[in-house]
């Protein structure tokens, strides 16, 4: 499996940093190469310009931005979803990694 680049977006990029760590651990346990990183909503555009992203997940606190991101990502064909609130609340890196991988075609 080729290396996957997973971008998480939240309001400040802080709360998702713990989730990134847990997702990286889950990927490592699966023997999977992944570049998983979190950015604030204000930094997202810049990252999308400079990085080849395979999937973008929004934190539940910025779910209201989904339509806005759908428009930005349509031309790039990057799948997008909102992180399941239960998995986010439990900081379940394994389940969120599954969610991200399920979106990549």
Structure tokens, 56:
């973008």
Report the chain's C-alpha Rg in angstroms.
Answer: 12
Going across the sheet that includes 4-10, the strands are 34-40, 4-10, 55-58, 80-82
Residue 66: active-site member: no
Catalytic residue among 10, 38, 48, 53: 10
The answer to whether 53 touches 26, Cβ cutoff 8 Å, is no
Catalytic residues: 10
């Amino acid at each position: 499996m080729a290396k996957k680049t997973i971008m998480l977006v939240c309001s400040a990029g802080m709360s998702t940093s713990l989730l990134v760590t847990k997702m990286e651990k889950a990927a490592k346990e699966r023997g999977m190469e992944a570049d998983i990183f979190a950015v604030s909503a204000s930094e997202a555009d810049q990252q999308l310009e400079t990085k080849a992203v395979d999937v973008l997940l929004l934190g539940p606190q910025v779910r209201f931005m989904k339509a806005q991101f759908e428009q930005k990502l349509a031309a790039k064909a990057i799948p997008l979803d909102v992180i399941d609130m239960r998995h986010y609340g439990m900081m379940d890196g394994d389940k969120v990694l599954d969610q991200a991988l399920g979106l990549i075609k």
